[in-house]
C-alpha cells in the first residue's frame, strides 16, 4: 500500500510500505479517503528541532475514511461505515484521560502525523476508542476537517473562551482553515464577528461566510478599526493563532475583562508584552492545543446540520506538498484536502 512519508526536512515521498497487521480485539482497519492539511503539517514539514520523531515518518494529522473490518465480532462498526479518527494516542488511564480531558493526557504516545506515523496512507489500524462515526449526509472530504480544524475551534470557542450568544469576537486570519470555521461557528450562535484577512480578494469571501466586518490587515491597522467598531470598548473575545505579528494588537482589541484564546504562532513564537495592561485590564489569556475527543462528534453534528467547512482546494495525495506550499504562502481561503 501507499504512504506519503517525510524523508527529510521539506521532502515528501509517496512510497510503498507493508500492509498494517490485521486488527486485534477492540481495533478496526480503516481505508483512508481524505486527509485535511493543517499548520501542524507545515511545522513538521519544515523540520522542528524540538519534535521527537524518527524519519521517514508518514504524514497527515487529520483524516476521514471507511471501516474495512473490525477485530472484534461485537464491534460497534461495520465495513463501509464512514469514520474519523482521534490522532493523539492518549493513555486512556491517567486522571486527565479519565476526566475526558484527553488533550491534557499525562502519558501521550504522540500525535499521529507529527511525532509518529500519521494518516496519509491507504490503510491504518486503530483502537476503536479513538474512532468516531461520521453522521449521515456528511461527505468524507468535509469530515476530514473534523478531528483537528472543527474540534480545535469548538474547544477554543466554547470550552475555553466560553463564547456566548450576542458577544463580539475578533477572528484573526479569517481566511485560514480554522479562521473560516471560527467565523461560521461564532455566527451560528449570534455573535458579531470582526475578522482580519491578508488580501482584498478575501474580503468578500469572509463577508459571504457571515463576518460582519472584514479588515485587510495588510492595508489597515486592525486594532484601531476593531476599537472604533466597538465604540472604543473592545471585543469580548479574540481568536488568535497568528502569533508574534498580531499578539499585542490583538490584546489592544480586547475589552476590559476580555478573553484571548490562542492555538498557534504561525508568525513567530516570542513576544514582549505589557504586564500592567494584562492585569489592569483584567484580560484572560487561554492557551489551547488540540481538543478532547468529545469535541469531534460535536463538530460533526454541526456539519450534519449544514454548517459545512469552506474547502479551498482538493488535491490528490501525490500533490500534498503543493497544498503545503499554498498554506505557507497564506493564499488559502478555507481548508485544503488531499484525497486517496
Ligand atoms: Zn492519559
- Residue 5 and residue 17: Cα distance in Å, rounded? 10
Going from the Cα of 231 to the center of ligand 1, the distance in angstroms, rounded, reads 45
What distance in angstroms lies between residue 89's CA and the mean position of ligand 1's atoms? 9
- Rounded to whole angstroms, the Cα distance separating 156 from 148 reads 12
Please say if the pLDDT value at position 213 is more than 90. Answer: yes
Residue 335: what are its φ and ψ, rounded to 5°? -100, 150
Q: Are 25 and 71 in contact (CB under 8 A)?
A: yes
Q: Which three cell numbers stand for residue 104?
A: 491534557
Q: What percent of the chain has pLDDT over 70?
A: 99
Q: Which segments of 39-119 are extended strands (E)? A: 57-58, 62-70, 82-85
Locus of grid cell 469531534:
296
pLDDT-based confidence at 215, cuts 50/70/90? very high
User: How far apart are the CA of 31 and the centre of ligand 1, in A?
Assistant: 27
pLDDT at 48 over 80: no
Region 180-190: mean pLDDT is: 98
Helix (H, G, I), strand (E, B) or coil at 134: coil
Structure confidence at residue 49 (pLDDT)? 58
Q: Which pairing describes strands 27-36 and 62-70: parallel, antiparallel, or unpaired? A: antiparallel
Structure confidence by residue, pLDDT tens digits, 284-324: 999 999 999 999 999 999 999 999 999 999 999 999 999 99
Under 8 Å between Cβ of 141 and 294: no
Angle of CA points 3, 329, 117, to nearest 5°:
20
Band of pLDDT at residue 50, cut at 50, 70 and 90: low
Instruction: Render pLDDT for 70-116 as a digit per residue (tens, 0 to 9).
Output: 999 999 999 999 999 999 999 999 999 999 999 999 999 999 999 99
Backbone angles phi, psi at 126, to 5 degrees: -130, 155
Residues with CB under 5 A from ligand 1 (ion): 90-91, 94, 97, 105
211: how many CB neighbours lie within 10 A of its CB? 26
* Distance of alpha carbon 101 from alpha carbon 301, whole angstroms: 20
* 99 Cα–ligand 1 center, Å: 9
**Cα(265)–Cα(251) distance, integer angstroms:** 15
Amino acid at each position: 500500500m501507499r504512504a506519503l512519508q517525510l524523508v527529510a526536512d521539506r521532502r515528501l515521498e509517496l512510497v510503498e510500505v507493508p500492509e498494517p497487521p490485521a486488527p486485534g480485539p477492540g481495533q478496526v482497519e480503516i481505508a483512508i479517503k481524505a486527509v485535511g492539511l493543517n499548520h501542524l503539517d507545515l511545522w513538521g514539514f519544515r523540520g522542528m528541532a524540538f519534535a521527537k520523531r524518527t524519519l521517514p515518518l508518514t504524514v497527515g494529522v487529520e483524516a476521514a475514511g471507511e471501516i474495512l473490518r473490525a477485530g472484534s465480532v461485537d464491534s460497534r462498526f461495520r465495513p463501509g461505515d464512514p469514520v474519523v479518527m482521534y490522532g493523539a494516542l492518549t493513555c486512556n488511564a491517567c486522571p486527565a484521560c479519565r476526566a475526558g480531558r484527553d488533550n491534557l493526557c499525562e502519558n501521550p504516545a504522540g500525535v499521529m502525523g507529527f511525532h509518529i506515523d500519521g494518516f496519509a496512507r491507504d490503510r491504518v489500524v486503530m483502537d476503536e476508542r479513538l474512532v468516531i462515526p461520521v453522521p449521515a449526509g456528511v461527505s468524507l472530504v468535509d469530515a476530514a476537517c473534523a478531528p483537528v480544524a472543527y474540534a480545535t475551534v469548538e474547544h477554543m470557542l466554547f470550552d475555553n473562551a466560553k463564547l456566548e450568544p450576542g458577544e463580539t469576537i475578533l477572528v484573526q486570519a479569517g481566511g485560514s482553515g480554522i479562521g473560516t470555521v471560527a467565523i461560521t461557528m461564532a455566527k451560528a450562535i449570534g455573535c458579531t464577528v470582526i475578522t482580519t484577512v491578508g488580501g482584498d480578494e478575501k474580503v468578500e469571501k469572509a463577508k459571504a461566510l457571515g463576518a460582519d466586518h472584514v479588515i485587510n490587515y495588510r492595508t489597515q491597522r486592525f486594532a484601531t478599526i476593531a476599537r472604533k467598531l466597538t465604540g472604543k470598548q473592545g471585543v469580548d473575545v479574540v481568536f488568535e493563532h497568528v502569533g508574534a505579528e498580531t499578539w499585542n494588537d490583538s490584546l489592544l482589541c480586547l475589552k476590559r475583562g476580555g478573553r484571548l484564546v490562542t492555538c498557534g504562532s504561525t508568525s513567530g513564537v516570542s513576544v514582549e508584552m505589557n504586564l500592567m495592561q494584562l492585569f489592569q485590564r483584567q484580560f484572560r489569556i487561554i492557551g489551547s492545543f488540540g481538543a478532547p475527543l468529545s469535541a469531534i462528534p460535536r463538530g460533526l453534528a454541526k456539519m450534519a446540520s449544514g454548517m459545512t467547512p469552506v474547502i479551498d482546494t482538493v488535491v490528490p495525495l501525490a500533490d500534498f506538498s503543493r497544498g503545503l506550499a499554498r498554506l505557507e504562502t497564506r493564499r488559502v481561503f478555507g481548508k485544503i484536502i488531499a484525497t486517496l
